[in-house]
A and B are shown apart, each in its own frame.
Chain A
Amino acid sequence: MTHIQPTLDLSPKVSDEVRKTTCYMCACRCGINVHMKKDPLGDLKVAYIEGNRDHPVNKGVLCAKGSAGIMQHNAPSRLKSPMKRVGERGEGKFEDISWEEAYSIAESWLRPIRETNPEKLAFFTGRDQSQSFTSLWAQSFGTPNYAAHGGFCSVNMAAAGIYTMGGAFWEFGQPDWDHTKLFMLFGVAEDHDSNPIKMGIGKIKKRGARIIGVNPIRTGYNAVADDWVGITPGTDGLFILSMIHCLMKAGKIDLHYLAQYTDAAVLINGDEKSPEFGLKLRDDNGKELVIDRNTGKPAPFDKKGVKPDLAATMRVAGVTHRPVFHQMADMYLDEQYAPEAVADRCGISAKRIRTLAAELARVAFDEAFELEHEWTDFRGEHHTSMTGRPVSFHAMRGISAHANGFQTCRALHTLQIILGTVEVPGGFRFKPPYPKPATAHPKPHCKVTPNAPLDGPHLGFVHGPDDLALKEDGSPARIDKAFTWENPMSSHGLMHMVISNAYAGDPYKIDTLFMYMANMSWNSSMNTTGVQDMLTDKDESGEYVIPRIIYSDAYSSEMVAYADLILPDTTYLERHDCISLLDRPICEADAVADAIRWPVVEPDRNVKGFQSALCDLGARLGLPAFTNVDGSQKYADYADYIVNHERRPGVGPLAGWRMGENGLQGGRGSPNESQLDNYIENGGFFVEHIPDGANYYKPWNADYQDWAVKMGLYDSPQPYLFSLYSEPMRKFQLAAEGHGERQPPDHLRARIKEKMSPLPIWYETDQQGNEGFTVTALTQRPMAMYHSWGSQNAWLRQLHGCNPMYLPSNLMREHDLSDGDWAEITSPHGAITVPVMEMAALNANTIWTWNAIGKRKGAWALDEKAPEATKGFLLNHLIHELLPPKGDGLRWANSDPITGQAAWFDLKVAIKKVAAPADAQSQPNMPPINSPVGKGPSELKWKVGQ
């Protein structure tokens, strides 16, 4: 009998039009093809979203969040109109107003501030992807109080990378996926470079290369790692220094690389009496001095033909000046770093530490290879090939969100560098605009003048006490106390301290808090309940302690309820944006790239891209950067800014299709009125590949340096040495030792001397008040969720609608717990009651949960009985921005003493089994807030085309 089956249309129409833009479901910023279909009324609607195959970031792939963009774009939680608060703060009661009214309210608050004291405005942005724009606005306003959320997210990693090697992990660099043979991965945040890392893992797995995952929790990338090292949280630095100890002791280090490309051979002032003791010796031109092995004489490091000597010392006037490498030998050969000495603290056996170090050595040196690329280094020496060391590393928040995170990140870079695996084939590679040393970045600026812009960019890299953001009386210039003695190298600011400092009036009171996309009354704050109290507390006169709050968001987040004025943002498919080289790049190690977003659909609500609103508001306030000479508005909207703004002559937000002398060109050039159309035609992005031969050894490669200048990444070639030895840190130590005019307060001297070691060290984080709290509690971000956004997404919230606390098997037994039981988790600061689940592949003294799944009842247009609001919970309730009191009359910040990075992975807790709460709801269970947008529908049968 013949087989009968229906005839199918195998080539149905896929879409009426494909519009290519950039995803905004996390910080990865993939290219997307938005398939548009006509609905029954004939309107083009978003029907399907897939990855853009031509895009440099994702090359066609797309994660769950990206594919669920259609549900994000149509979420019922979208704000619909500007609003002003009509109830009390925290209630969520609002009245819709016009944009005109919103602007005039904002202007009436901000104009007097600018005219009298611009520092009374604190402007902080959260998941902002336009920081070069928002910072320009803040700078033009004149307030010193601007930053994005890097201070509680990434600053240890970013600053350690830039200070040490002129570039960082995170999305600023990547392993050489095509050549690496061993990839060692430390705790990674799943929202930065996420698709590239997954693609890279796929690539190296295909080649049979291997992965070592170092993480207390074996999920995600660690689950596919060939070897898993379930380290004790906060001890990564010790583990790394122990491997450095083993490798140095065995001579398994790349001496050529260290001598040529790092400061290992740079001489350090050995004169203990000198105010420059411990600083690098320099010639009259300020160039670091090395001993030239050819002559035995000191020479500037970059002199043509110089062979820097790692071993030789220089004796002058009875004082011996030794190179950095001597100090490293002194420090790291010490038995305190022997595997046996660190094994217990790290939770890794000494034998395993040795085996791992040996494997790094084996692959780096036995599997070294040459890539046939000719190149010339910055000293003018020509090389016929490039040496590859196929060991690569990557790390993110897991090692950085500790109070010893900066030094730990520095230690990891030191490990990479002694193996000679940075910017070499098979190793870790920078993505443009990196490499870019700390010295090529701006310094922080904080000089406030009424009715005038700030004296320069807010954020940057300090190189000593002189660069701190202090007022003349020595008090902090910034509301977040960034760049002060408490955290001198806080390059990203300290957004997590803004509300508590503003509430305390320390260092001063502010008038208006202006925030963008930052869910500070919920998952983006430590100490959530405390922050809610600070935002709603009133003084004796009945006024709010923080008098005015303006907030911009696209969605009905928990923070909306705590603001006085709401500026509704658009969804990512309704807006212009630029993913700019001036900002956070989307480049590849082999290419420079930037991208745009453009309105593939027009908003159907009374909303406006926040940046466009800032263009309007900036013009109303007469901010110089946003006003023409005649006083008229300079940029009609953000798109106008993107095309026409020039940061430096010829360098604007977008590098593609700029107007050159001979027509359109990439890199430098004057504004091109049809630039956005050029981008749209090209799929929403611009990419230009780095020429072969210029694409490795970039910090020292003359061809790369020239190319970078041509592209506008630098204004002149910037070759530099990697800083194994951090001179800026030594300068802070010198101050603490009593040198120099700017002196730290006495209570900080000892800490600065100890923690600001110019060579990486490891120290136990402050355990004051942790007696009885012995278990580390961590959070991880699920791959399918981004911050709090995922819960409003009907598809994604089905994946992660609630979050249990995962306990290792031993702690489950110890506390007589079974899956689904409840436990009270306490810290010195607070308590939560939550459901537990067992996980065997977990460090034996660590518990964890998914981050930001828990939601406040009433937020995100969810039902008040949504599992996110009943069972889901935040770990944030257990964490405080300050450490418990020590009895010294001071409150010390729960942050890294070098950068101020929030140390939320230092959290220690105790566990107690409890009966399920009567209502089976996790505790604390907060009262609902009003939803200003109503609730979502009861069923979805989504289909655009019919």
Chain B
Amino acid sequence: MTQLPTHTEKKLGLVIDLDTCVGCHACVISCKGWNTENYGAPLSDQDPYGADPSGTFLNRVHSYEVQPAQGDAQLIHFPKSCLHCEDAPCVTVCPTGASYKRVEDGIVLVNESDCIGCGLCAWACPYGAREMDAAEGVMKKCTLCVDRIYNENLPEVDREPSCVRTCPSNARHFGDLGDPNSDVSKLVAERGGMDLMPEQGTKPVNQYLPPRLKDRLAQDEDQIDILAPYLAPVATETKGFLSWLDKTLEKL
């Protein structure tokens, strides 16, 4: 049913730390591996060994260069997948009911057997979270590993999305963003987590933690002033240095 539920019991989603993501693409490929073998049709690849390889991916890592008014440019790696929006425009546009938002946890899914492959949901998504699989002709998207997070065939510790499990730098966190006491909610509160494209009114569940302030040792005059006394010379040449050394050793 493509009407959105009025309320979901949980708001499961990801918190992505832009201060920590090193841009390694581990999440991209782990996602590709799990979701090729699991939920729905495999994520296919066209011309995989040819001139124009192109496949379906549910998670991709962008990178942006940001030039501050002063100082060096910064590079930010930017993983992006479905944000499981509260007001998911992709769901309401679906003519067949294939796209839906789960009432128990807020996960946005595509029921592939109902999907006619019209692509309208991808048009409606501002984030590029949905990709039409060229081989299967159905819309694919992040399932938040719905077939992992409750899976009783997996050890409890592994019941999290494969991208989170594999992330080497721990830049991805999974949890209930509807519960203000959850670890992810606390992280969002502490670090000033943000919505992407808030003006689109989608109310994304996934949150992004902004990069911390960079290059303070080059920019921040206070820092520089505090540090300067650390290098007050004890001597300026060898002789003075050796006499300082002798005195200091005496005290050791």
Is chain B found bound to chain A in the same assembly? Answer: yes
Which positions in A face B, CB cutoff 8 Å? 1, 3-6, 8-14, 35, 37, 47-51, 53, 58, 60-68, 70, 76, 194-195, 198-199, 201-203, 205-206, 212, 218-228, 230, 246-252, 255-256, 259, 293, 309-311, 325-326, 329-330, 333, 351-352, 354-359, 361-362, 783-784, 792, 794-799, 801, 839-841, 861-863, 865-867, 870, 935-945
Q: Please state if A352 and B218 are interface contacts (CB–CB under 8 Å).
A: yes
What chain A residues lie within 8 Å of B233 (beta carbons)? 249-250
B10 at the binding interface (Cβ < 8 Å): no
Q: Please state if A62 and B166 are interface contacts (CB–CB under 8 Å).
A: yes
Bound Cα distance A14, B158 (Å): 12
Task: Give which listed residue, A35, A199, A218, A311, contacts B75 with CB less than 8 A.
Answer: A218
Instruction: Give the interface centre of B49, B73, B109, B236 by most chain A CB atoms within 10 Å.
Output: B49
What chain A residues lie within 8 Å of B227 (beta carbons)? 354-355, 358-359, 362
Q: Please state if A51 and B166 are interface contacts (CB–CB under 8 Å).
A: yes
Q: Please state if B224 and A224 are interface contacts (CB–CB under 8 Å).
A: no
Q: Which 6 A-B pairs have the closest CB atoms?
A: A936-B49, A202-B170, A840-B73, A198-B168, A794-B48, A865-B51
For chain B, residues 65 to 93, give those with C-beta under 8 angstroms from any C-beta of chain A: 65, 67, 72-77
Q: How far is the CB of A191 from chain B (nearest CB, A)?
A: 12
Q: With A67-B166, A311-B245, A841-B72 known to touch, is A795 a contact of B55 (CB < 8 Å)?
A: yes
Q: How far is the CB of A138 from chain B (nearest CB, A)?
A: 36
For chain B, residues 192 to 231, give those with C-beta under 8 angstroms from any C-beta of chain A: 211-218, 223-224, 227-228, 230-231
Q: How far is the CB of B209 from chain A (nearest CB, A)?
A: 10
Task: Give which listed residue, A35, A227, A866, contacts B217 with CB less than 8 A.
Answer: A227
What chain A residues lie within 8 Å of B73 (beta carbons)? 218, 840-841
Q: Please state if A940 and B50 are interface contacts (CB–CB under 8 Å).
A: no
What chain A residues lie within 8 Å of B3 (beta carbons)? 1, 3
Bound Cα distance A9, B29 (Å): 24
Q: Please state if A50 and B22 are interface contacts (CB–CB under 8 Å).
A: no
Task: Give which listed residue, A202, A325, A354, contacts B231 with CB less than 8 A.
Answer: A354
Q: How far is the CB of B112 from chain A (nearest CB, A)?
A: 10
Q: With A62-B26, A783-B24 known to touch, is A937 a contact of B33 (CB < 8 Å)?
A: no
Q: With A841-B74, A943-B42 known to touch, is A794 a contact of B53 (CB < 8 Å)?
A: yes
What chain A residues lie within 8 Å of B230 (beta carbons)? 250, 252, 357-359, 361-362
What chain B residues lie within 8 Å of A866 (beta carbons)? 49-51
Q: Please state if B245 and A941 are interface contacts (CB–CB under 8 Å).
A: no
Q: Please state if A326 and B238 are interface contacts (CB–CB under 8 Å).
A: yes
Q: Please state if A250 and B231 are interface contacts (CB–CB under 8 Å).
A: yes
B118 at the binding interface (Cβ < 8 Å): no
What chain A residues lie within 8 Å of B249 (beta carbons)? 255, 259, 293, 309-311
B185 at the binding interface (Cβ < 8 Å): no
Q: Please state if B33 and A70 are interface contacts (CB–CB under 8 Å).
A: yes
Bound Cα distance A53, B165 (Å): 9
Task: Give which listed residue, B54, B63, B72, B236, contacts A798 with CB less than 8 A.
Answer: B54
Bound Cα distance A4, B76 (Å): 41
What chain B residues lie within 8 Å of A784 (beta carbons)? 24-25, 28-29
Q: Please state if B23 and A783 are interface contacts (CB–CB under 8 Å).
A: yes
A-B contact pairs, 26 of them (CB 8 A): A3-B1, A3-B3, A5-B103, A10-B150, A51-B166, A62-B30, A62-B168, A198-B169, A205-B17, A205-B19, A212-B217, A226-B214, A247-B231, A249-B241, A252-B231, A255-B245, A310-B249, A329-B238, A329-B241, A355-B218, A357-B231, A359-B217, A794-B53, A863-B51, A941-B44, A941-B135
Q: Please state if B168 and A333 are interface contacts (CB–CB under 8 Å).
A: no
Bound Cα distance A333, B242 (Å): 11
Flag B177-188 by CB within 8 Å of A: 1 or 0 each.
000000000000
Q: Please state if A14 and B153 are interface contacts (CB–CB under 8 Å).
A: yes
Q: Please state if A10 and B72 are interface contacts (CB–CB under 8 Å).
A: no
Q: Please state if B49 and A863 are interface contacts (CB–CB under 8 Å).
A: yes
Q: Please state if A50 and B166 are interface contacts (CB–CB under 8 Å).
A: yes
Nearest B residue to A212 via CB reads B217
Q: Please state if B42 and A256 are interface contacts (CB–CB under 8 Å).
A: no
Q: With A61-B166, A67-B30, A940-B48 known to touch, is A227 a contact of B231 (CB < 8 Å)?
A: no
What chain B residues lie within 8 Å of A10 (beta carbons)? 146-147, 150-151
Bound Cα distance A564, B135 (Å): 42
Bound Cα distance A797, B29 (Å): 11
What chain A residues lie within 8 Å of B232 (beta carbons)? 250
Bound Cα distance A199, B154 (Å): 23
Q: How far is the CB of B208 from chain A (nearest CB, A)?
A: 14
Q: How far is the CB of B61 from chain A (nearest CB, A)?
A: 9
Bound Cα distance A819, B53 (Å): 22
Task: Give which listed residue, A12, A218, A794, contacts B38 with CB less than 8 A.
Answer: A12
Q: How far is the CB of B210 from chain A (nearest CB, A)?
A: 13
Which positions in B face A, CB cutoff 8 Å? 1, 3, 5-6, 17, 19-26, 28-30, 32-34, 36-38, 41-42, 44-55, 57, 63, 65, 67, 72-77, 100, 102-103, 109, 111, 135-136, 146-147, 150-154, 157-158, 162, 165-171, 211-218, 223-224, 227-228, 230-238, 241-242, 244-246, 248-249, 252
What chain A residues lie within 8 Å of B103 (beta carbons)? 3, 5
Q: How far is the CB of A45 from chain B (nearest CB, A)?
A: 10
Nearest B residue to A250 via CB reads B231
What chain A residues lie within 8 Å of B42 (beta carbons)? 941-943
What chain B residues lie within 8 Å of A9 (beta carbons)? 147
Instruction: Give the interface centre of A65, A220, A361, A941 by most chain B CB atoms within 10 Å.
Output: A941
Bound Cα distance A845, B25 (Å): 29
What chain A residues lie within 8 Å of B234 (beta carbons)? 249-251
What chain A residues lie within 8 Å of B19 (beta carbons)? 205, 224
Q: With A250-B230, A794-B48, A862-B50 known to touch, is A227 a contact of B166 (CB < 8 Å)?
A: no
Q: Please state if A64 and B224 are interface contacts (CB–CB under 8 Å).
A: no
What chain B residues lie within 8 Å of A50 (beta carbons)? 30, 33, 162, 165-166
Additional A-B contacts beyond A870-B51, A941-B42 (14; CB < 8 A) = A50-B33, A66-B26, A220-B22, A223-B63, A251-B244, A310-B245, A329-B238, A330-B238, A352-B217, A783-B22, A841-B72, A863-B49, A939-B48, A940-B44
Q: Please state if A64 and B75 are interface contacts (CB–CB under 8 Å).
A: no
Q: Please state if B168 and A199 are interface contacts (CB–CB under 8 Å).
A: yes
What chain A residues lie within 8 Å of B45 (beta carbons)? 794-795, 798, 939-940
Q: How far is the CB of A937 from chain B (nearest CB, A)?
A: 7
What chain A residues lie within 8 Å of B162 (beta carbons)? 50
Q: How far is the CB of A394 from chain B (nearest CB, A)?
A: 14
Instruction: Give the interface centre of B20, B34, B38, B50 by most chain A CB atoms within 10 Å.
Output: B50
Q: With A11-B152, A220-B23, A939-B48 known to touch, is A48 a contact of B34 (CB < 8 Å)?
A: yes
Task: Give which listed residue, A5, A62, A202, contacts B100 with CB less than 8 A.
Answer: A5
What chain B residues lie within 8 Å of A67 (beta carbons)? 26, 29-30, 32-33, 166
Q: How far is the CB of A546 from chain B (nearest CB, A)?
A: 32
Q: Please state if A839 and B228 are interface contacts (CB–CB under 8 Å).
A: no
Q: With A8-B146, A218-B72 known to touch, is A68 a contact of B153 (CB < 8 Å)?
A: no
What chain B residues lie within 8 Å of A65 (beta carbons)? 29
Nearest B residue to A9 via CB reads B147
What chain B residues lie within 8 Å of A199 (beta carbons)? 168-170
What chain B residues lie within 8 Å of A194 (beta carbons)? 24, 168
What chain A residues lie within 8 Å of B100 (beta carbons)? 5-6
Q: How far is the CB of B16 from chain A (nearest CB, A)?
A: 13
Q: With A355-B227, A941-B42 known to touch, is A936 a contact of B48 (CB < 8 Å)?
A: yes
Q: With A203-B170, A354-B228, A841-B65 known to touch, is A227 a contact of B29 (CB < 8 Å)?
A: no
Q: Please state if A333 and B46 are interface contacts (CB–CB under 8 Å).
A: no
Nearest A residue to B230 via CB reads A358
Nearest A residue to B239 via CB reads A329
What chain B residues lie within 8 Å of A219 (beta carbons)? 23, 75
Q: Please state if B167 and A61 are interface contacts (CB–CB under 8 Å).
A: yes
Bound Cα distance A259, B246 (Å): 12
Instruction: Give the interface centre of A8, A58, A255 by most chain B CB atoms within 10 Å.
Output: A8
Bound Cα distance A225, B33 (Å): 30
Task: Give which listed residue, A8, A48, A246, A255, contacts B248 with CB less than 8 A.
Answer: A255
Q: Please state if B153 and A11 are interface contacts (CB–CB under 8 Å).
A: yes
Q: Please state if B248 and A251 are interface contacts (CB–CB under 8 Å).
A: yes
